[in-house]
């Protein structure tokens, strides 16, 4: 492969990476969707939360309890 082709490819994909990085509207939307999904999982009982406010901590659902109940 020619050196100029390698350098051109590196420059193009570096520019594309910077363009994707600075898409703030998409970042805000992604954060909103993630927060809504986690809140829904907590309300449905799939994720347990210990504490309140800033001291909240998500804990893993004890899968063994589900198997014992059947």
Q: What tokens were used for 62?
A: 């004890």
Other Cβ atoms closer than 10 A to 61 = 13
Give the closest residue to 39 by CA, choosing from 22, 58, 26, 67.
58
User: Tens-digit pLDDT profile for the chain (70 aa)?
Assistant: 688 888 899 999 898 887 777 667 777 888 999 999 988 988 887 878 888 888 888 777 666 555 454 4
Phi, psi (deg, nearest 5) at residue 2: -70, 150
pTM above 0.85, yes or no: no
Residues 68 and 2: their CA atoms lie apart, in Å, by 63
Phi, psi (deg, nearest 5) at residue 22: -95, 25
């Amino acid at each position: 492969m020619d050196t100029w082709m390698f350098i051109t490819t590196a420059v193009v994909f570096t520019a594309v990476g910077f363009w994707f990085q600075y898409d703030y509207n998409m970042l805000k939307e992604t954060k909103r969707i993630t927060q809504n999904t986690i809140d829904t999982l907590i309300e449905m009982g799939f994720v347990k939360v210990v504490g309140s406010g800033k001291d909240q901590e998500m804990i893993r659902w004890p899968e063994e309890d589900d198997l014992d109940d059947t």
